[in-house]
Each structure stands twice: as C-alpha cells, then as structure tokens.
Structure 1
Amino acid sequence: MTVSPQQSGIWLKGDWHMHSCHSTDSTNNTPSRIIRFAERMGFDYLAITDHDVHVQGAVAQHTWVDPEYRSDLVLLFYGAELTAPRGHVNILAAEPYDHQRVFDARNARDWNLLKLKQELGIHWSANHPNHKNHYGFSFDLADSVEIWNTSVWPKNVASVRIWDDQLLSGRMIGARGGSDNHHGMPDDPALIGPLTREATGNYVGTPTTWVFAAERSKAALLQALKHGRASISSNPYNPRVELVADCDGDGRFETTMGDNVMPSGGPVTFEVRLSEGGIPRANYEVRIIRNRSEFATIFTDAVTRTARFVDSPHADEWTYYRVEVMGPQAPYPEVPNSMALSQNMVALSNPIYFNFDPSF
C-alpha cells in the first residue's frame, strides 16, 4: 500500500475478479494457491468471485466457508459472480450477506433487483460488458464496471467504448479491472497444457486495480471504487496512473479522479502522474479522452514521470476527462506471457467530471 502525499488516503492494489476450484470451470486454482500468491506479491485486497450458478447460489456454503479462504495480510471480500441469462455481475461486500437471495432473483426486473441490492447493502459491478456473456442488466444498477478483463487488451477495447457511452450519457460509473483467472500457475512448466496455459499469461493482477481509499478497510475500498477513485495497470509492476487537476488556477492540484466540479468556463490545468513501477526513464504516451473522443496525445517526462495539458470545460454542459497510458510493458516474471497479451496498453485512469448530476 502507498500513502498519497497530496490527499488523506491510501493507495491499495488488488484484483476484483477471479475463480477458485469452487467454480467448476476452474482447474488447479485453490483459494490457498490464489491467496498465497497474492501475499507474496504484496497485494492489499482480493475478491474471489466464484460462479454462483455452479452451486445454485450457495457460495456461502462453499467458497466462503473453505478453511483456505483466509489471510492475515490481504483483505478478502465476500462475493460471487452472478451468472445469469442476462449476463454476469460481480457481487461484492465487506461482510457476509445473503447471496442466495441474489441468485434466486437473477431473472427479476431491474427495479426489483435495485431494491434488493439496496436492502442487502452490496456492491453491484458489471462484468465484461463486451463478451459472449455480456452485461445485460440496466447500468442504473451498476456501482462500477469492469472495463479491463484478463491480460488480453484487444478484447477490452469495446468494453471501454461501452463505458464511454455510459459516461457520455451523464452516468458517473467507476471503472475497475479483473483478471477473471480460472487456472492456477502450474508447479512444473512441463505440465503446462490447454487448461493451465492461461495461467502463464493471465493470473492474479493482470490487470491490477489501484484504489485510493480513505483507510485500509474493505468498506473504504468499496466506497472509493464506487466513486471512481481508482486506476488500472496491466500488471502490478507497471506504473499507477493518476489524473489530477488545478481548477481554480492557484497552482494546487486539488481535484482528482472521481471528483465532480462545477466549471467556471475558464482554463483548467490537468496533470498526469505515474507512480510505483514501470520502465526507468521511459517516455510514456498518454492519450487524453474528452467525452469519448481523443482530445490530445502527450508524453510523460522521463524524469518527473508527469505530463500536463490545459482545457476549458464548458460551464453549461457536462464534460469528463480520462487518460490511457501506452508504452513498454514492465516484466511480470511470475506471469511471463501477460506482457505480450497486453500489447502496449499500460494503464487507464478513471475520469474527472465537470458539471455532472450525481443523482443520475
């Protein structure tokens, strides 16, 4: 975990979507294998989200009670992947909840699911919106959306566009990643076969989601994820990207990802910051996305690892800005084939919003 020098809070890294052997399409991937790997890698949190349909909704009697499902080092969430005809949803919670009710209501109308979500106090995260099992529920239900699923970057481009469509419609939806890994790393490379080959290119942390939480707790993580105080890196050795802004021209970058500002119509200075890992002295390419369209392309300074741009969001319409970082992949020796699958996509930020309606 990393303490931010700019604001009160802690950066925590982890993975929001993975499967253990309690999912019947998972192999060689016990909870202890996943958790011990995450502990060795220094991850702060994990969500093992097994398919609920494989146990007819009874995840509380399978994954959650598995004696291997414990850690003194990593914050472990309670949850499951709601696997329904209308698509897949990661249900996440800090404490145990009645997942059976969610599973039994999987074909209910969206407004009834919204009431159930609110009653149970769960986080509803839309999984892989562009996928053979694409998300088909209303985005009004979603507290967050998975825009980066597995290490294979090209398959996620359409998901990012779907997220952009939701943002452009006026919704403020925090984005996250999820490795969606199903198969454990083989103990012996000679044993790599069709089912375990995935592990050498996709495992815990491909991608890694960084969340800026008020404190190191599961409740704070979920609150920060919902508010978009997060960014995504293709692996834990790559840079964490932050997008901040000086909206009043006082030289202080007081605005960060997930914030919603009422603009004056004057110029706003934005700064892109790369922290943590990455390739030393690399100049990373930064694509600035403004309201779904590419606004500009800039490059980070090799020494300061920052880049700035200026724009004037209109006072009478909503505008959002987010960034995508391209460049050389930092090696992930523990998952050696992931770098090639991610191609040159290194990191993504959540947006800074201007003039949005938070009640939308």
Structure 2
Amino acid sequence: MLAIPGYEDKVKGDAHVLGVDKLLGNGDGSAAAINALANEVRAKGGLFQVDHPGSKITKKFAGCDASTLTWGYGFDVRPDTVEVWNPSSSIRAAEDYLDCWLQRGARVALTGGSDAQTQYGQPQGAGYPTTWVLARNRSQGAVLEALRASRTSVSALPPAVGGRPLVIEAKRDGRFVPVIGDDVRPGEKLHVRSLDPLTDGSLRVLANGQTLLDQHLTRDRAIEFTAPAQPGWLRAELRLGNDLLEQTPLCGAIDLGANLCPYDAAMVAMTSPVYVR
C-alpha cells in the first residue's frame, strides 16, 4: 500500500488537497484565496481537486451553469482533477462540469472516490469505484505526476473483485500504447478497449462535447475509431447497455450515502481525456 498524504477541505463545496502533509490556509474563502491555495499546493508538488460537484443537486446542470452545483466557485477556481464518480453524487452532473472545463481549453483529469463511510446503502467500502493511475513507478511523486497529466481511468469495481480500467490506445512504433492524458493528432487512428475480460457494455466516446462513437463493446475486443479533425479533447465511457438509462438526467437530491440513479448505477468504467492537437 502506498499512502498519498492529503485532506478534504470544506470551502464553498468540498475539495481535496493532495500531496501535502500539513493543513494550508484558505484565507477568506474567496475564489482568489482558493486559487492561491491551489497554486501553493502545486508549488509543493501536489494537486487540487474538486470533489463530487454533483452532490445533492436539485435541478439539472445544463449549459455550464455552475450555479446548480454544490461547488460554489463555478469556473473561477481551476482544479487539476475533478472527482466525477462518487457513490453519493450525480455522475452525470459532474461529467458535464468536467466537459465544460475541457471546452474552455483546460486540461483536467477525472477521478473516482468511494467516500467510504460505511453509511446507509454503501456496504462495499473503499474501492467502489477505483481510480487507476498510469504512473512511471510506484512512488508518491509519480502518482501525483500522473494525476496532473490526466493519466487516469475509473472502474466501478476494485481489482480484488475483477475491476479493470478502460483504456484508449494509439499505435506508436508498431505497437499500441496508452494515450490517455496525452496529445494525439487530428485524424489519428485510435482504439478503445476494456481490460475487464468479463464485462460487455455500451461504449461511448465523447469528443468536444459531442458523441463521436456509440456502440456495443464485446469483452476481449477493441473498437477502432479516428480522432476528430477538430482540435480539442475526447474521452470514453463504458456502461451496461440500456438506452433508457440515458433518459434519466436527474434523480433528485442524493443525501442517503448511496446513489440509486439508473444512469450512474449502469456505469462500468470511464477514462480521463485524450487531447487532440
């Protein structure tokens, strides 16, 4: 087990300060003060994360109107990562918030967190979901570096019970290599595959806010696609196949320690962005 020091900071919403071993000042809690905090964290080699921005929302997040979120700084404080997947929060709203950052040209990774407090309806504990990080080596510095570089994938299950990441790869020097968090060329041929040998599902690739690919991914197979001609970003997600789940945009406030929204319950895995340059 490798421990990464950090803490959850209660500001106008919840944030994570990762990679520091002491509490840092919030100032007056304004956006300027929180940006100063984030910059101090980065200077120390850490990173700043917005936690579960879709928590306890009561109306749909739409059109990048961040006032609907529990994260009170909107787009005034840039995070390094966004905890998109949390069992007590709306995945869909957090996805949309992340995509709004990407549409602004920011490079922001996604993570998942169990928030395991063994409360109502959450018997699984830590690792549901699991964040996978492609790091140079098994060290605190390498893990934080990989998080900053968006080299992450999140799965519903931990590895002990068969969870595996979803990956996007490109052919380099005659072999396929992971490119999540990296730059690819417009029109470059890519493929996406799940390292989970047991799970089929509906694969969706999003690019610049639009659906680039939506088809069934068979276990142990890869789906090839082409990076869009327009510069920007793309990311992938794998869900249990049911089109009706897409029509459940909001399940109301989530405050029971468990998220029972069908859209969120169907999520199997998702990746951080690949950047088209």
State whether TM-score is above 0.5. Answer: yes
Match of 1:311 in 2: 226
Are 1:78 and 2:13 matched, yes or no?
no
Is the contact made by 2:114 and 2:129 (CA closer than 8 Å) also made in structure 1?
A: yes
2:25 partner SS: helix
Match of 1:326 in 2: 239
Q: Compare CA radii of gyration and give the structure with the larger one.
A: 1
Match of 1:13 in 2: none
The one-character-per-residue Cα deviations of 1:240-264 (angstroms, maximum 9, x if unpaired) are: 1111123x7x753345100023x3x
Unmatched runs of 5 consecutive residues or more in structure 2: 57-68, 242-257
Tell me how far apart the structure 2 counterparts of residues 270 and 339 of structure 1 sit (CA, whole Å). 34
Structure 1 pair 114/312, CA: closer, same or farther in 2 (3 Å)?
closer
Match of 1:253 in 2: 176
Are 1:127 and 2:63 matched, yes or no?
no
Structure 1 pair 347/114, CA: closer, same or farther in 2 (3 Å)?
closer
Is the contact made by 1:239 and 1:346 (CA closer than 8 Å) also made in structure 2?
A: no
1:129 partner SS: coil
- 2:213 aligns with one of 282, 287, 296: 296
Match of 1:33 in 2: none
Tell me how far apart the structure 1 counterparts of residues 209 and 107 of structure 2 sit (CA, whole Å). 14
Structure 1 pair 92/301, CA: closer, same or farther in 2 (3 Å)?
same
Match of 1:347 in 2: 269
CA shift for structure 1 position 136: 2.9
Q: Any runs of at least 4 consecutive aligned residues in structure 1 with deviations exceeding 6 A, and if so which?
A: 337-341
2:121 partner SS: helix
CA shift for structure 1 position 197: 2.9
Count of matched residue pairs: 243
Tell me how far apart the structure 2 counterparts of residues 216 and 123 of structure 1 sit (CA, whole Å). 18
CA shift for structure 1 position 339: 10
- 1:243 aligns with one of 162, 168, 173: 168
Tell me how far apart the structure 1 counterparts of residues 266 and 9 of structure 2 sit (CA, whole Å). 32
Give the aligned CA root-mean-square deviation in angstroms: 2.8
Is the contact made by 1:299 and 1:307 (CA closer than 8 Å) also made in structure 2?
A: no
The one-character-per-residue Cα deviations of 1:1-30 (angstroms, maximum 9, x if unpaired) are: xxxxxxxxxxxxxxxxxxxxxxxxxxxxxx
Structure 1 pair 245/298, CA: closer, same or farther in 2 (3 Å)?
farther
CA shift for structure 1 position 298: 2.4
Are 1:198 and 2:84 matched, yes or no?
no
1:219 partner SS: helix
Q: TM-score, normalised by structure 2?
A: 0.77
2:234 partner SS: strand
Match of 1:43 in 2: none
- Percent of residue pairs identical: 26
Is the contact made by 1:206 and 1:338 (CA closer than 8 Å) also made in structure 2?
A: no
Tell me how far apart the structure 2 counterparts of residues 308 and 119 of structure 1 sit (CA, whole Å). 40
Structure 1 pair 149/254, CA: closer, same or farther in 2 (3 Å)?
same
2:176 partner SS: coil
Structure 1 pair 234/283, CA: closer, same or farther in 2 (3 Å)?
closer
Match of 2:194 in 1: 274
Unmatched runs of 5 consecutive residues or more in structure 1: 1-73, 184-195, 329-336, 356-360
Structure 1 pair 119/252, CA: closer, same or farther in 2 (3 Å)?
closer
Q: TM-score, normalised by structure 1?
A: 0.60
- 2:15 aligns with one of 76, 84, 89: 89
Tell me how far apart the structure 1 counterparts of residues 50 and 193 of structure 2 sit (CA, whole Å). 28
What pairs with 1:31-42 in structure 2 (closer than 5 Å)? none
Structure 1 pair 243/118, CA: closer, same or farther in 2 (3 Å)?
closer
CA shift for structure 1 position 207: 0.8
CA shift for structure 1 position 208: 0.5
The worse-fitting range, judged by mean Cα deviation, of 291-300 and 171-180 is: 291-300
Is the contact made by 1:127 and 1:134 (CA closer than 8 Å) also made in structure 2?
A: no
Tell me how far apart the structure 1 counterparts of residues 49 and 209 of structure 2 sit (CA, whole Å). 21
Match of 1:178 in 2: 113
